A and B are shown apart, each in its own frame.
Chain A
Amino acid sequence: MNISGMLHGAGLLKLAGFPAAEVLGPEASEHEIHSLIERCGAVFIKPIFKGGIGKKGKSGLIGRAKDLKTALAEKERLYFAEHRVGNVVYKSRGVTFEGAVPAEHEIYFSLTDSTRYRAPVMTLTHHGGMDIEELDKSQIIEAPFDPLTGLKSFIVSNALSDLGAPREIVSPLVQYLPKLWDLFHHNGMSTLELNPIRMTESKSGSLLPVACDFKCGFDRDDPRVGRLTLPDDLFVTEANDFEQEINELRTYQGQSDVYVINEKGTILAPTFGGGANSLVTEVLGNDAIISSDFGGNPPYEKMYEVMRICLKYYLKQSNVLFIIGGKANNTDIFVTFRAMADALRDYFSEHGPTPLYVVIGRGGPQLIRGMGVFKDVLDALRIPYRIFGFDSAMTDVVNYAQEADRWMKSGGRAEVAKSLGLPADA
């Protein structure tokens, strides 16, 4: 859940009373763009990417125009621009026009939580406007502070003293930066980055910090983000339909965390526990369709629903249904296995059989009753399977599931299909 860019950023900064560059959205009229150029002398044209996409400037994805004609040409160039970050290609959905802010000083500012200090930390430098990683450590300061009192003026002031910042920027920053704590802490943010903040001359002759770019991340476990009444679809592109459907079940009782690793994977592995998730994701790699944690003792209804959705989206393409967890502390194996087995049986009733190999590894309360239920359903559906106890090394069980996948890929699937009375290519 990230926001980058001034289209929404300017509005959020306004809530905190922090000055921001003037911004127009993709729907801006030529007249509006023209008058923005008149007022600011120039405009920056930036593509709009959903989520927190950085390094646009380096990729030549920021245009600058001093006249309307250039501005419109840049709009045309960048409106559907594509931006590759790693293996993922992001597509722009329009552009913003941001008024230029003349300034001598550019500031980098961010707020986040630090595991080194176990406290919120302000990162600050007056050598902003460039990648923070490219600066020498002595040019940047990290200042942890007490969240119960918040980011106070003296913390900013001390940090600027330590940095040896120019005198003229100290007072305006000490005055304005603490406002950002309220925006950060009270609206469910986990990171906030303004880079650059340009120190422009105000009417009175003193300097005024103006945010010229905006990035923030929200904590998905914090309902405070709702206070900002952001558009509902702002974060939608970050999850696919499957994740979206599972996320609707997200409550604190029983986990329903899921991440699609490989849409074309062949092992469907509902996993229980954060540790098992790490281990299984590690070993299965791209064979896995999803990375998930469904532990936390989910009730029957929730487990059934989670499994129903998993099967609906991915069972047909799966060679192996692999249910794996360690020795559960509190998750009731009978309840969770009954729910999953029922969902599997109901899938077969509704959609007909599909060739499958089932591998299970688990320990915990009501283990044998849970395994018994699964065994009965698998026997009834005539699906080959192995169910391992917690005295088998979990990684070996993962390897066994991969072996089953390999066999299914090299003729096993056709054999299972035949035994279920299905065509060989089912």
Chain B
Amino acid sequence: MRKPGIEKFKYFVGIRSLAEIATAEDRVCVLNILGNESRSVTPISHAYSGGNVVFGTSPGRRGQVLETRAGNIPVYNNVREGMDAGHKFNIGVVYLPPAAVRDGVAELIRINPDVEKVIILTEKISVHDSREIRALGQQRGVDIFGANCLGVADSWNHVRIGGALGGDKPEETLRKGSIAIYSNSGNFTTTIANYLSIGGWGTTTLISSGKDVYINYATPEFAFAMANDARTKAAVMYSEPGGYYEQEVTFEKPVVACVVGRWKANLTRAVGHAGAIAGSGDDARAKEGWFMEKFGVKDLFTPDNPVCSNKGAVVTNIAHIPQALTEVMRLNGIERDFPPEGNLELKPWFGDDQGLKLPVALNIPVVKAMSPYDEQIAELLKNVGAIFPRQTMKDCSGSSVMDPKTQVTKVNGISILDTAKQPLESNLCLSLVRELNDANDNALFNLAVAAHVNLHGDAALAAADASREAGNAPNTAISAAIALIGPKRVDGARKAADTLIELFAHSGLLKGEDEQANTTPATATPEQLATLLGKFPDALAEAMLDAFDKRGAKSVFVRHLRALGGHPTAGAVLAALTTTIAWEPLVRKRISKLTVRNLPWYARLFGVFIGSATEGARHQPDKFCGVSNEEILQSWTVTQLAYLSLMAERPTPSSLFPFQVMLGLIISNGVGTISAQGCKGAVSADGPETPERVQINKGMIGFLTHTGFAHGGNGYEGIQFLIESFAGTPLADAGAADPGLDLKKMATDFALAFNKEKKASKSLGTPVRNIPGVNHPVFKGHPVNHDPREVYIADLFAERGEKNVFHDFYRALVQALYDNGVTANVFCVNIDAIIAALLLKLLWPRYRRNELGESSMEMAAFTAFLLGRMAGCAGEIDDHINRGRNMDTRTPASECSHVS
């Protein structure tokens, strides 16, 4: 049965006064209370209104609650369950998705005969459903607000129902006063209230009407309820083109109408507000005319031409509302609600000319923001480094991304085709500080790592050797060493990094290598000094400082340590080196303070990683792989050290470059790789939300345990294939301009043999073996196929005039396979083939000298993979510590399956 409505209207309207719209007695049920928007808005509304939401619904979530500062709100599957549980309500708030709104409104008003008002927040409801919702409300005698609105609020009653008027701090904007606001725009409801309070006017009831084609609580109803509300002395209306809602209205109290959208007449399609598209008779100019006629004014109100009457004024700029209102009210003999709280002049809170000479009109100085934003800005400016929001980082990375089309991975925005041109030390830093190194950074980082490769006498080396002796693969042996480089081993260096950041954070220092910078911007406290200086000279620290000079490196922080006049610890020197590299990205908020603090740990882990990759016998008190500690400290690069550890010989420039390219190519293959998943799982299990507890060395172990003979070790398959093909040849130098081999014949012979083998396998029904390094699931299907990464590397070496007979053989092979009918088109040579060709070229002389057996070759290939991939995985570890949530890599039981 329809309830009796107000007689004045031909249709149903139940609300007599604005004071009845949002009252302290109203009790609310929220549909889809756990939806994204409601979850953030409802708790604030509930607390602001003194706890007016009695329950919410969310199908399938009965028993859950929505936590709020004013207590938990219970959740039921549907309205009936909530009412059966004894809850009573008179207002329904709808946060459902568009397709479900009509049914939600029907549920509210058919299940609960006491419903008086329904507020619909959802936007993009079809006109079809809006028609029916209007009719449903009329049929049952229910006042509906919206849809596509932001609800209602009452500044006197301290009540907000439905949407988020006033934002996350309603009390800041909803100031008690004498003005009602009715607005087609939800955002402008709040913005106008904000402008009014700056101009000295508070509010009574605020209504965001929505601006769909159907506006359920429209201007005529508002005008009627305003007349009956003793608190309200005037109203501000914000009105957009489209619809005849305002045409026939009579106001009994003064109104400032803001009509915006003359220009919209040029548009043929609505943007934002579905109903804000006008025909010929209801555009912005027509609406301005309607209001002007009601107010008896001949023109629009502007500060220069303040046309108004005691009935009202029409503005087209919301910034003019406070002044227009004040003028209109002056004609009615009514003063402001409170003294103006400022003005709406341009006030930049942030700004920078970037050294340009701007004209006066643009060069407006930055001003102190209003309270409490000024304090927040001060806090923000105090903060050093980036703060990343935490989120679930399962299968998600802020460090690496693979383009599924090209299969090329980028690490911190740099393609692996470009990292292939960088030395390992630069790629290691790129992963962590998110930028490539310059020469000074490289000098610093080479020293930081070089100081930790010789593990003579360190239990870590014994652990690695014991692991190797037990028959383990290189990943397991290195893990054993890495396990011993726990947080206690690097506490000193991390505390030193903290101290350096604290001392220099607000010094204005922009670059860590700035030679002109003040080395003592702040006086260190005794506690801070204790993190940098020891009681006695530290031999390693002194050797490092000596090497620092020999390398011609620059660092404000090293100069700071020296200026202190005591005995810097080795940890402090290490921290000074890494903090110099990280300073610029830290200041520019590219990386967090946490990353800078942990950087010495990473540097040490890289050193131990490289050191433990070679057997214990090569670590002597004063030498590593036959090279003196002094020489290593003073001149060796990380790339050279990795080469030395793997090959046990000094690299030459021509042998080092392909090695560097190979490492650079494999630093990452995206977050989906098992190695990345392993290290991220290790971080997730430690709980990155308490980053202090995350064991970075365990993260590295997670990476290492998630490599193996199939992932990382499979590089050997390519090598094995090439050895099979070349063992019987007299090849001595794989880089010779003329290796003296007929590659085409070799490839054709192989293709024919393979074809025979393939046919035999087919007739037997046994699987055909794959040729390692040939074909790719993405780069296929064309007459001639190329892996772009292979092409890039081939061009790179061609430019340098460097030959690689194994690579050439692969290219001849894919052609021969096609020419002899083995493949339907010319398959690509893939990236695995490149890695095998590069590595085998380096190992070939030792293989020829019988210094390396098959097993050693396999281990070398595996170790090379680990040395490259440690860069990408370190980046994933650091990224996950900064962004991840505790246990975020777990898979919900519902997504797991069972087999028996």
Binds B, one of A26-34, A101-109, A216-224: A216-224
Whether A396 and B126, one on each chain, are in contact in the complex, defined by CB atoms closer than 8 angstroms, is: no
Chain B residues contacting A397 (CB-CB under 8 Å) are 346
Q: A328 in the interface, Cβ–Cβ < 8 Å?
A: yes
The distance in angstroms between the C-alpha atoms of A415 and B344, with both chains bound, is 31
Number of A-B contacts (CB under 8 A): 301
Q: A282-B261, A292-B271 are in contact. Are A275 and B183 (CB under 8 A)?
A: yes
Whether B187 and A325, one on each chain, are in contact in the complex, defined by CB atoms closer than 8 angstroms, is: yes
- Considering the complex, which residues of chain B in the window 262-277 have a beta carbon less than 8 Å from any beta carbon of chain A? 262-264, 266-267, 269-276
Q: B797 in the interface, Cβ–Cβ < 8 Å?
A: no
B362-396 contact mask (Cβ, 8 Å, vs A): 1 or 0: 10101001100100110010000011010000000
**Chain B binding surface, main DSSP class:** loop
Chain B residues contacting A276 (CB-CB under 8 Å) are 185, 187-188
Binds B, one of A197-205, A206-214, A254-262: A254-262
Q: B127: which of A146, A222, A367, A384 is its contact (CB, 8 Å)?
A: A222
Q: What's the tally of chain A residues with a CB closer than 8 Å to chain B? A: 95
Q: B353 in the interface, Cβ–Cβ < 8 Å?
A: yes
Binds A, one of B131-139, B693-701, B711-719, B784-792: B131-139
- Considering the complex, which residues of chain A in the window 238-295 have a beta carbon less than 8 Å from any beta carbon of chain B? 238, 252-253, 255, 257-259, 261, 272-279, 281-282, 285, 291-293, 295
The distance in angstroms between the C-alpha atoms of A25 and B215, with both chains bound, is 41
Binds A, one of B50-58, B289-297, B311-319, B871-879: B311-319
Interface centre among A272, A325, A412 (most CB of B within 10 A): A412
Chain A residues contacting B40 (CB-CB under 8 Å) are 297, 330, 332
Whether B263 and A416, one on each chain, are in contact in the complex, defined by CB atoms closer than 8 angstroms, is: no
Nearest B residue (CB) for A393 = B319
Chain B residues contacting A119 (CB-CB under 8 Å) are 131, 134-135
The distance in angstroms between the C-alpha atoms of A236 and B377, with both chains bound, is 47
Nearest A residue (CB) for B263 = A282
Q: A327-B187, A330-B40 are in contact. Are A113 and B214 (CB under 8 A)?
A: yes
Q: A273-B187, A380-B588 are in contact. Are A338 and B389 (CB under 8 A)?
A: yes
Q: A388: which of B166, B347, B353, B588 is its contact (CB, 8 Å)?
A: B347
The distance in angstroms between the C-alpha atoms of A384 and B350, with both chains bound, is 11
Q: A147-B132, A278-B240, A349-B413 are in contact. Are A330 and B127 (CB under 8 A)?
A: no
Whether B198 and A221, one on each chain, are in contact in the complex, defined by CB atoms closer than 8 angstroms, is: no
The distance in angstroms between the C-alpha atoms of A279 and B284, with both chains bound, is 12
- Considering the complex, which residues of chain A in the window 380-412 have a beta carbon less than 8 Å from any beta carbon of chain B? 380, 382-397, 400, 403-404, 407, 412
The distance in angstroms between the C-alpha atoms of A129 and B346, with both chains bound, is 57
Q: A376 in the interface, Cβ–Cβ < 8 Å?
A: yes
Whether A327 and B346, one on each chain, are in contact in the complex, defined by CB atoms closer than 8 angstroms, is: no
Q: B731 in the interface, Cβ–Cβ < 8 Å?
A: no
Nearest B residue (CB) for A191 = B127
Nearest A residue (CB) for B373 = A368
Q: B190 in the interface, Cβ–Cβ < 8 Å?
A: yes
Q: A282-B260, A388-B347, A396-B319 are in contact. Are A346 and B413 (CB under 8 A)?
A: yes
Chain B residues contacting A380 (CB-CB under 8 Å) are 588-590
Whether A330 and B41, one on each chain, are in contact in the complex, defined by CB atoms closer than 8 angstroms, is: yes
Q: A365 in the interface, Cβ–Cβ < 8 Å?
A: yes
Chain A residues contacting B263 (CB-CB under 8 Å) are 281-282, 285
Whether B271 and A293, one on each chain, are in contact in the complex, defined by CB atoms closer than 8 angstroms, is: yes
Q: B355 in the interface, Cβ–Cβ < 8 Å?
A: yes
Binds A, one of B117-125, B326-334, B483-491, B624-632: B117-125
Q: A279-B318, A388-B346 are in contact. Are A185 and B128 (CB under 8 A)?
A: yes
Min C-beta distance of A322 to chain B, whole Å: 13
Q: B274: which of A221, A224, A332, A373 is its contact (CB, 8 Å)?
A: A221
Q: A221-B274, A282-B262, A392-B346 are in contact. Are A275 and B191 (CB under 8 A)?
A: yes
Q: B345: which of A277, A325, A392 is its contact (CB, 8 Å)?
A: A392
Q: B351: which of A277, A385, A394 is its contact (CB, 8 Å)?
A: A385
Nearest B residue (CB) for A221 = B124
- Considering the complex, which residues of chain B in the window 431-482 have a beta carbon less than 8 Å from any beta carbon of chain A? none
Whether B264 and A282, one on each chain, are in contact in the complex, defined by CB atoms closer than 8 angstroms, is: yes
Nearest B residue (CB) for A332 = B40
Nearest B residue (CB) for A277 = B272
Whether B191 and A363, one on each chain, are in contact in the complex, defined by CB atoms closer than 8 angstroms, is: yes
Q: What's the tally of chain B residues with a CB closer than 8 Å to chain A? A: 108
Q: A257-B271, A273-B186 are in contact. Are A224 and B128 (CB under 8 A)?
A: yes
Chain B residues contacting A369 (CB-CB under 8 Å) are 380, 387
Whether B353 and A384, one on each chain, are in contact in the complex, defined by CB atoms closer than 8 angstroms, is: yes
Whether A390 and B194, one on each chain, are in contact in the complex, defined by CB atoms closer than 8 angstroms, is: yes
Min C-beta distance of B40 to chain A, whole Å: 7
Q: A255: which of B123, B238, B380 is its contact (CB, 8 Å)?
A: B123
Whether B163 and A329, one on each chain, are in contact in the complex, defined by CB atoms closer than 8 angstroms, is: yes
B407-433 contact mask (Cβ, 8 Å, vs A): 1 or 0: 000000100000000000000000000
The distance in angstroms between the C-alpha atoms of A118 and B243, with both chains bound, is 10
Q: A375 in the interface, Cβ–Cβ < 8 Å?
A: yes
Whether A387 and B349, one on each chain, are in contact in the complex, defined by CB atoms closer than 8 angstroms, is: yes
Chain B residues contacting A252 (CB-CB under 8 Å) are 97-98, 122-124
Chain A residues contacting B588 (CB-CB under 8 Å) are 376, 379-380
Whether A296 and B362, one on each chain, are in contact in the complex, defined by CB atoms closer than 8 angstroms, is: no
The distance in angstroms between the C-alpha atoms of A273 and B189, with both chains bound, is 11
Interface centre among B128, B261, B351 (most CB of A within 10 A): B128
Chain A residues contacting B344 (CB-CB under 8 Å) are 391-393, 396
The distance in angstroms between the C-alpha atoms of A387 and B389, with both chains bound, is 22
Q: B36 in the interface, Cβ–Cβ < 8 Å?
A: yes
Q: A394: which of B318, B364, B376 is its contact (CB, 8 Å)?
A: B318
Chain A residues contacting B99 (CB-CB under 8 Å) are 223
Q: B894 in the interface, Cβ–Cβ < 8 Å?
A: no
Whether B194 and A274, one on each chain, are in contact in the complex, defined by CB atoms closer than 8 angstroms, is: no
Min C-beta distance of B394 to chain A, whole Å: 15
B228-262 contact mask (Cβ, 8 Å, vs A): 1 or 0: 00000000001011111100000000000000111
A285-313 contact mask (Cβ, 8 Å, vs B): 1 or 0: 10000011101110100000000000000
Min C-beta distance of B584 to chain A, whole Å: 10
Q: B1 in the interface, Cβ–Cβ < 8 Å?
A: no
Min C-beta distance of A260 to chain B, whole Å: 10
Whether B11 and A118, one on each chain, are in contact in the complex, defined by CB atoms closer than 8 angstroms, is: yes
Min C-beta distance of B874 to chain A, whole Å: 21
The distance in angstroms between the C-alpha atoms of A395 and B317, with both chains bound, is 7
Q: A274-B276, A285-B263, A387-B349 are in contact. Are A219 and B191 (CB under 8 A)?
A: no
Chain B residues contacting A277 (CB-CB under 8 Å) are 271-273
Nearest B residue (CB) for A238 = B269
Interface centre among A281, A330, A338, A373 (most CB of B within 10 A): A330
Chain A residues contacting B211 (CB-CB under 8 Å) are 274
Nearest A residue (CB) for B282 = A115
Q: B608 in the interface, Cβ–Cβ < 8 Å?
A: no
The distance in angstroms between the C-alpha atoms of A281 and B271, with both chains bound, is 10
Q: A389: which of B213, B243, B349 is its contact (CB, 8 Å)?
A: B349
Chain B residues contacting A334 (CB-CB under 8 Å) are 389
Interface centre among B276, B319, B364 (most CB of A within 10 A): B319
Q: B85 in the interface, Cβ–Cβ < 8 Å?
A: no
Q: B339 in the interface, Cβ–Cβ < 8 Å?
A: no
The distance in angstroms between the C-alpha atoms of A366 and B125, with both chains bound, is 29
Chain A residues contacting B546 (CB-CB under 8 Å) are none
The distance in angstroms between the C-alpha atoms of A118 and B219, with both chains bound, is 13
Which 10 A-B pairs have CB atoms at the shortest separation, nearest pair first? A275-B185, A293-B272, A393-B319, A274-B272, A326-B191, A273-B187, A222-B126, A275-B188, A329-B164, A274-B273
| Further contacts, 17 of them, CB under 8 A, given A221-B124, A330-B167, A394-B318 | A118-B215, A222-B128, A223-B99, A257-B270, A273-B188, A275-B185, A278-B240, A279-B318, A327-B194, A357-B362, A368-B377, A369-B380, A386-B350, A386-B351, A391-B194, A400-B346, A419-B355
29 A-B pairs with CB atoms under 8 Å apart are A115-B215, A118-B214, A119-B135, A147-B134, A148-B136, A219-B128, A221-B125, A238-B269, A273-B185, A278-B185, A278-B260, A326-B188, A326-B190, A330-B163, A330-B164, A364-B167, A368-B376, A375-B352, A378-B352, A379-B354, A379-B588, A386-B350, A387-B350, A389-B370, A392-B345, A392-B346, A393-B195, A394-B318, A403-B361
